[in-house]
Chains A and B, each alone.
Chain A
Amino acid sequence: MAEIVTLLSAGCHPETGRLRPAAGDAAALALGLALRASGHRLIGLHAGPADDALRVYAGFAEFDLVRLNLSAQADALPVILPWLALRRPALVLAGPKAELGAGTGLLPYALAEAMGAACIPEVAGVEELAERVTLVQALPGGRRRRLAAPAPAVLVAAGRLAPPSGWAYARAQRARLETVPATALEPVAATAWRNEPARPLARPVRRIRGGAAARMAAATSFTAGEGQLLVQPAPDEAARAILAYLEGQGLLRS
């Protein structure tokens, strides 16, 4: 059976800033655990300075955990690459973005490029893994499409995917983590970066001319969307309308 590596980064609670499993990486882990259930081997890989960041993931299931010992500022890519080259996994799973540090979501793409593998984002499920990997990709509007890619491939979990169920304290406490020493280059660009808190973008305001009455009318009236209003339609008519909508959204193949 094939080997799968899931990349696990240190998560950060948005309100308190405390360590937790990163939501995106937990989603990737959920994909990995589903594959493990069908017999593949799963390794969780973390590149960072502390075991704690990895241990929080250990509560989800019993699987192999490896930490590449690295400072928090160091660039993970040049350390992960040679480790992956040695193991030659059939799949690398990652979350869409990190919750801490300079993680921009670029890592899986950079990895895939360096490995000469495909990078597929928004993965909602993996159906089969052999010579090729068959997967389901999430598209906007609830649509899904089935894709196939040659293994090895780098898959990025869909951001909305649920984390694995069943986090257990005892598993996290008793997990044995393997630590691999790593020598890393400090990123040259680091000194040039400046951190500042994110600002929400101002929402564009729609200006309404014509005084208070017009503003009141604009605030209280509803503009009809593209939809079609059917009041107590006959079942046939309703079914036709639903079919027409689904077809218009490209959710039905006729």
Chain B
Amino acid sequence: MGSGGVVLLILLGALGWALIGVLGRIAGWRAGRPAKVDWLAGLLALPRRYLVNVHEVVARDRYASTMHVMAAGGLVLALLLVVLVHGFGIASPWLAWPLLLACVLTLLGAERVLRRRADRPPRLSGGRWNRFGWAIGGFALGLAWFTLPATGVMADPGLLHPVSLAFAALLAWSAFELADGLAHGPMRHALAGALNLVTHPRAPRFSADRPVAAIHPIDLDAPRLGVETPQDFAWNRLVMADACVACGRCEEQCPAFAAGQPLDPKFVIRAISMAQGADHVDDRHYAGRRWPGLERRVGEGGAARPLVADGGLIPPAALWACTTCRACVEACPMMIEHVDAIIDLRRFQTLELGAVPGKAPAALAELAAADNIHGRAAARRMDAFVDLDLPLLREVESTDLLLWLGDGAFDPRGQRAMRAFVQVARHAGLELAVLGEEELDTGDLARRLGDEAQFQRLAEANIATLARYRFRRIVTTDPHVLNSLRNDYPAMGGHYEVVHHTAVLLELAEEGRLKFQPGEGQAALTYHDPCYLGRWNGEFEAPRRLLDLLGPGRVEMARHGRTARCCGGGGGAPLTDIPGPRRIPDMRMADAKATRAGTVVVACPNCAVMLDGVTGDYPAVTEVAELVLARLAVPAERVAA
């Protein structure tokens, strides 16, 4: 037997070993709940999703992207060629040389992997991941040695030659390390990652305009609401958890993690992945960073055991610290949907256990009896606007633009912004009407706190109300309302054109219906992206263009646009109020201060409250509409109230 034969033997052995592991993993996935998957469309879209969507995220870290192109590209090429050269024994130099080059490319990639590991950033997991680079390098090196004879560089020294034996051992170890990893280790990200791209539950996120992120509704008559154990997840969500490459980019972006609250989006996903593969497992072997503040905690779980519990793999506080800002999802190169998983887990906690912490249960109880979380009578929503004489849709029956007031109508900060918008809109000659006391909470907060029952009740009621009237568009100052009506209502049967007031103001300004005068001695502005306008709805440009029309001097915070840091006000986080050593809004105001801007411009009533509440020497907080009103080229008192 030539020494090349040993390659075939090792590879076949490793392949068999990998197959056994992968079949076990597949059995674990199949234990999940059923999901509708369009296989054909998914498979056809795979190359594009990988080469465009995944690459776009990976390439934000140039080092990692080059490393991955070399190591993964080299490895895939080598594996294809190895089938021809060693599998079919075609010892042509036309194949052997490319194989050798692929091995060298892989080796260079592995060198970059190991170089990064030498000074491992804390976001990267250790443990088996530390061996990964050695395994790839060893595999490439071993393969290269046994390919040399085929290139004609040297004669086959035979398998019994001591050097050959050493390389055979190296190849065997690395091949089995990689093969075993396909089910239980780092290589799993390649298999599950590709499958995740095919069976992804949010296919629209891959389209060119990357629209809308709706949250999937659940059947409230199901025997178990929400997700308790890994097996309660849809099977493609289990695949998704297995796709995690443990890069920790989500961790870097997570505002709750940065605030020291016990949430680590990477650990949430790793915990689901860890639990689904075993009947019983604990997280002592977990090699990434642990829940902030709970570093010594040991969690236990399994495929059919509760994920979230005091002694579970995910501590309840982790679940409730999430602001649903989607920064983790945006940063994930594997297209994992952390927020969906958290909402699914919250649903079980809320609907089945009633285990919502902090002031959230009281808010949900008021929502149940009064249709707003403040427990106010429906008519009180109009209290702050009586002097504006806003026409009620009930009386006028049709309107071009329906103003949805939202929860900000109960809060002085939100009222100020809304009044400013109404004044500016009227100044530009825009007709607005409101629902008044017929408007109920959209149910957005309830949905994000896991209370799907209340969301569905409120959505149905609002949709029934809206069906009675004619209007062309709904405008709102609240991105949470916008997201709810635009993305969450269609699944409940309500299809509307919903615009944010920044978009309406931009339209008016660009049509020349608003004239601005520069403010006196104006300091620079910086714009804070609301998560639900930006990341959730992809509207980054309109507010910026509007601000640029107001005058020069807009600066950007280091984290803006898709990577903007949350204000801390989303997902019911102010109600669940999970303690941490730092506060998210404080950190955001520090971001703003670092730009030396005099004013932070916000476009969301929640952001306004959160950022305005930060005390100390920080920039002023202004809502976009307030700023537009102040910069109108007419004295403010002459703007029709």
A79 interface residue (CB < 8 Å to B): no
Residues in B with CB closer than 8 Å to A165 are: 354, 361
A40 interface residue (CB < 8 Å to B): no
Contact of A13 among B364, B375, B380 (CB under 8 A): B375
Q: Is the CB of B354 within 8 A of A168?
A: yes
Interface hits, A1-60 → B, CB 8 Å:
13, 15-16, 18-20, 59-60
> What are 26 A-B contacts with C-beta separation under 8 Å?
A13-B369, A13-B370, A15-B370, A15-B375, A15-B380, A16-B369, A16-B370, A16-B371, A16-B378, A18-B369, A20-B369, A165-B354, A166-B353, A166-B361, A168-B350, A168-B351, A168-B352, A168-B354, A168-B355, A169-B351, A169-B451, A169-B453, A170-B225, A170-B351, A170-B352, A171-B354
B376 interface residue (CB < 8 Å to A): yes
B84 interface residue (CB < 8 Å to A): no
What's the Cα separation between A168 and B220 when bound, in Å?
13
Q: Is the CB of B355 within 8 A of A166?
A: yes
Residues in B with CB closer than 8 Å to A13 are: 369-370, 375
Task: Say whether, besides A166-B354, A169-B351, A20 and B368 are in contact (CB < 8 Å).
Answer: yes
A167 interface residue (CB < 8 Å to B): yes
Contact of A18 among B354, B361, B370, B376 (CB under 8 A): B370
* Minimum C-beta distance from B310 to chain A (A): 14
Residues in B with CB closer than 8 Å to A173 are: 220
Query: Which partner residue on chain A sits nearest B374 by CB separation?
Result: A15
Interface hits, B333-366 → A, CB 8 Å:
350-355, 361, 364-365
Interface hits, B5-54 → A, CB 8 Å:
none
Q: Is the CB of A59 within 8 A of B354?
A: yes
* Minimum C-beta distance from B83 to chain A (A): 53
Q: Is the CB of A167 within 8 A of B369?
A: no
* Minimum C-beta distance from A175 to chain B (A): 13
Give the top 4 A-B pairs by smallest Cβ distance, nearest first. A168-B354, A166-B354, A13-B369, A20-B369
B169 interface residue (CB < 8 Å to A): no
Interface hits, A59-80 → B, CB 8 Å:
59-60
* Minimum C-beta distance from B434 to chain A (A): 20
B377 interface residue (CB < 8 Å to A): yes
What's the Cα separation between A171 and B220 when bound, in Å?
12
Query: Which partner residue on chain B sits nearest A164 by CB separation?
Result: B354
Interface hits, B598-628 → A, CB 8 Å:
none
* Minimum C-beta distance from B157 to chain A (A): 70
Contact of B354 among A15, A16, A60 (CB under 8 A): A60
What's the Cα separation between A168 and B228 when bound, in Å?
14
* Minimum C-beta distance from B456 to chain A (A): 11
Q: Is the CB of B353 within 8 A of A168?
A: yes
Task: Say whether, besides A13-B369, A16-B369, A167 and B377 are in contact (CB < 8 Å).
Answer: no
What's the Cα separation between A174 and B107 when bound, in Å?
61
Residues in B with CB closer than 8 Å to A169 are: 220, 225, 350-351, 354, 451, 453-454
What's the Cα separation between A133 and B355 when bound, in Å?
30
Query: Which partner residue on chain B sits nearest A21 by CB separation?
Result: B365
Q: Is the CB of B351 within 8 A of A16?
A: no
What's the Cα separation between A173 and B223 when bound, in Å?
11
Query: Which partner residue on chain B sits nearest A168 by CB separation?
Result: B354
Q: Mark B539-562, 1 if CB is under 8 A from A, else 0.
A: 000000000000000000000000
What's the Cα separation between A171 and B350 when bound, in Å?
11
Interface hits, B155-200 → A, CB 8 Å:
none
Contact of B361 among A19, A20, A167, A170 (CB under 8 A): A167
* Beyond A165-B361, A167-B364, A168-B353, 16 extra complex contacts between A and B, CB < 8 Å: A13-B369, A15-B370, A15-B377, A16-B371, A16-B375, A20-B369, A59-B354, A166-B353, A166-B354, A167-B354, A167-B365, A168-B352, A168-B354, A169-B225, A170-B351, A171-B352
Residues in A with CB closer than 8 Å to B355 are: 166, 168
Q: Is the CB of B377 within 8 A of A16?
A: yes
Query: Which partner residue on chain A sits nearest B453 by CB separation?
Result: A169
Chain B CB count within 10 A is highest, among A165, A167, A170, A173, for A170
What's the Cα separation between A165 and B351 when bound, in Å?
13
Residues in A with CB closer than 8 Å to B451 are: 169
Interface hits, B482-524 → A, CB 8 Å:
none
What's the Cα separation between A169 and B356 when bound, in Å?
12
* Minimum C-beta distance from A10 to chain B (A): 12
* Minimum C-beta distance from B285 to chain A (A): 33
What's the Cα separation between A18 and B377 when bound, in Å?
10
What's the Cα separation between A143 and B171 when bound, in Å?
77
Residues in A with CB closer than 8 Å to B453 are: 169
* Minimum C-beta distance from A144 to chain B (A): 25
Query: Which partner residue on chain B sits nearest A59 by CB separation?
Result: B354
Q: Is the CB of A15 within 8 A of B361?
A: no
Query: Which partner residue on chain B sits nearest A18 by CB separation?
Result: B369
What's the Cα separation between A77 and B620 when bound, in Å?
62
